[in-house]
Amino acid sequence: MSEALLIVAHGSHLNPKSSAPAQDHADAVRAAGAFDEVREAYWKEEPSLRNALRTVAADEVYVVPLFVSEGYFTEEVIPRELRLDFEAADWDSDGTSADSVTLEPSDVDGTVHYCGPVGTHRAMTDVIVRRAETVTGTPDVGEGVGLAVVGHGTKRNENSAKAIRYHADRVRERDRFAEVRALFMDEPPEIDDVTDHFESEAIVVVPLFVADGYHTQEDIPADLGIADGDGDYAVPTRLDGHDIWYAGAIGTEPLMADVILERAADAGASVDAWPGDDGDRPTADRAGGD
Amino acid sequence: MIDPPPTGRAVIEMSERADPWPVEALREAATDGVDFDGLVVTRDGDGFHLAVPGASYEGLSAVAFADAARRHGAYVENWLFWHQHAPQTPADWAFLRWIERADDLSVPERDERLRDDGDGVTREWGQVAVTVRLTGNGRRRYDLRHADEVDVARDALSTYADPCEARRLRKTDDDGDYRPLSTAPTLPHGWAFVDLGPAAAVRAVDGFYPATIANWHREREGVLDVTHWHETVSRQTGIYGVVQTWDRGEGHAHVDRVAEACCDDSQCLKRREWEYDAETPLSVDGGSGVFPCREPCSMVIAAAREWTRLEAEQSRTYAFDLTPSEKEQIETIIDAVADGRVDEIREGDTGDGANRYRARYLRAKLFDEVGNLCGVPTDADDANADGP
């Protein structure tokens, strides 16, 4: 019984960086030898979601969406385009708790384990903390430091904000950072007034976006007020008496590859090896679960 | 996950050894029988039987069988390669057979042409040229290059051994511009994949042109699942749902224009197999690509979304005063952009209507200060507001 990992991502007709995280994490999983086959598929690039399953030889395919939250793409677009007979209710999710369902696609023989998005997996909390460590260059960052977990937020999909708050709450429970806030681009509390939300002088801002693009490289720096005339920003940037450590899209963090594998392993995949077996694996939550 | 194994081809379960000696492997397989590319081997109470075109041996002992098999070693090695070393996924297997023209060339013909002291056999898949050569014991190695660079010295190219690099190479064209459509005829030059094994060669080709092998194979097997235009736009939702409104029972001229704009061989190397619907073919040519296009792609749908919005407008009559040459120049400029010719127009060639100086002169003469052609406002309301 051979197994394949299919990482599905949005991709872009305009931004070549959009697919970079999916490619990089696929390469990391492949290099670790975690799966017999590792493939990517995209909504906007190729292979398209429509053609993806027929490029896989394995008869068990673990489909992991490289998306931040549950919503339109994970519940409607991806299953429809992969030709899965799936209803969002199959996940029985509260908005952040989708795990996996086992389905038979209509255009190929075999079994698909359709997983929830990486963004709502509990291990993403570790990636957020890791991102704070890497952007500040401080392995034990936290004491006296504020952490802003930033999401798009949209009134059209309440799950978008739920995913951000879920991880902000989990980081806060660890009592590692002086303050933790969930902030948004398109709904309150908004990132425009980031310094109003923190007393700590140092504020680490981690946007929960998959790829670096317009939102993470132009919109958010401008909204935060750290962008200079050319739209560039320094790390850190001094702003209203605070140091803003802006991390860029979390999807580019190498530890994300492990979250992808966690999703597949939770769905029953026999993951043979982990990219972080040298100590980087986000194991904090695996033992106890939650 | 993909198609069932092709009929008439028994996939042998070989022993654990990675590279069995061909004659030994053939002897093990004889009990189940072998009939492949002209080689026929059986075993019964009388001993082994072996036949190739032009020679036949009956009732052989094991030793005599080994002698006969070695005498026709090219057949034996060919059999072993295709059942032990080549990827057994039907589409990949068929693709690699296609590369070396296995359906057209006999085993001795291929043995002659694939020898590694020669040119091997090269076939083009889109803009990728795949060259296969024999190494030893029937093993094949594959080189991939841009089809324009088959004869370029290897030293002049950047060489790659990891087939997964192909999907990164395909992302930009020779100018470094992003290529969202992998099958656009703008594959960059300057690279070579060298000495790939069969599975790696397939992976690299799929990296350049994702899913083309799978769909090509389905087409060859007569099971390509074409999804036509109307069905494709009908399932769109979200910001693309609006494209459904473009189909209003007014024929398919709009889809003809989409296919002419996006799917022509000059724009995409896939051969369009989708039509308006199963009963209504489009009026434009689908192209001559090796691999099929089974449904409108995301680029087409995204462009159609724009056209749906634009084509909701009603035509109006505008009056512009142009000299005959100015009218022709506007046509030349549109042609130059549509044909991707702009970068080829020489700086000093003011005889070309799409030359930059010519276009700038036309703009200086015909546009008013807010960019209206011949001073004619786009909306009549603007004329009333700003007019004399």
Ordered by start, the domain boundaries in chain A are 3-120+253-266, 124-252
Per-residue confidence (pLDDT) for residue A281, from 0 to 100: 55
CATH number of the domain at A3-120+253-266, please? Answer: 3.40.50.1400
Closest C-alpha to A215, from A8, A6, A10:
A10
Question: Residue B137: pLDDT band by 50, 70, 90 thresholds?
Answer: confident
- Interface check B212 vs A, CB under 8 A: no
Interatomic CA distance for residues B32 and B18, integer angstroms = 21
The 10s digit of each residue's pLDDT in B182-192 is 999 999 999 99
- pLDDT-derived band at A273, boundaries 50, 70, 90: confident
Bigger pLDDT: B76 vs A158: B76
For residue B215, list chain A residues with Cβ-Cβ distance below 8 A.
51, 54
User: A13 vs B302: CB contact, 8 Å cut-off?
Assistant: yes
Of A23, A61, A76, the CB nearest to B168: A23
Measure CB to CB from residue A51 to each of B215, B235, B302 and give the nearest one: B215
pTM above 0.80, yes or no: yes
A124-252 and A3-120+253-266 share a CATH fold: yes
Which residues of chain A make contact with B302, given a CB cutoff of 8 A?
A: 13, 44
In B281-338, which ranges are E strands? 292-293
Cβ-Cβ pairs closer than 8 A, A with B, add up to 79
The model's confidence at residue B388, banded by pLDDT at 50, 70 and 90, is: very low
Confidence of residue B42 (pLDDT cuts 50, 70, 90): very high
Q: Which residue is closest to A112 within chain B, CA to CA?
A: B1
- pLDDT of residue A280 exceeding 80: no
Give the pLDDT confidence score for residue A267 in this predicted structure: 97
Contacting residues of B for A55, CB less than 8 Å apart: 2, 206, 210-211, 213-214
Dump pLDDT digits (tens) for A121-173: 999 999 999 999 999 999 999 999 999 999 998 877 888 899 999 999 999 99
Report the distance separating Cα B216 and Cα B218, nearest Å.
5
- Report pLDDT for B383: 55
Which of A217-231, B14-28, B109-123 is predicted with the least confidence, judged by mean pLDDT? B14-28
Q: Contact A46/B302, CB-based, under 8 Å?
A: no
The CATH label, of 3.40.1710.10, 3.40.50.1400, 3.30.2270.10, 3.40.50.2300, for the domain at A124-252 is 3.40.50.1400
Is B235 an 8 Å CB contact of chain A? yes
Q: For residues B14 and B38, which has the higher predicted lDDT (pLDDT)?
A: B38
Please check whether residue A271 touches B, CB under 8 A: no
Q: What is the pLDDT of residue A225?
A: 93
Who among B172, B225, B299 is closest to A13 (CB)? B299
Q: What tokens does A109 get?
A: 């023989």
Of B181, B210, B298, which has the smallest distance from its Cβ to A55's Cβ? B210
Handedness of CA B367, B371, B373, B379 (dihedral sign): negative
- Joined tokens for residue B351: 């005889």
Closest CA to A257 of A78, A66, A114, A101: A66
Residue B7 has pLDDT above 90, yes or no: no
Distance, CA of B328 to CA of B310 (rounded, Å): 25
Query: What is d(CA A63, CA A260) in angstroms, rounded to the nearest whole number?
Result: 10
Give pLDDT, residue A60. 96
State ipTM.
0.91
* Closest-CA distance of chain B to residue A271, Å: 19
Other Cβ atoms less than 10 A from the Cβ of A144: the count is 12
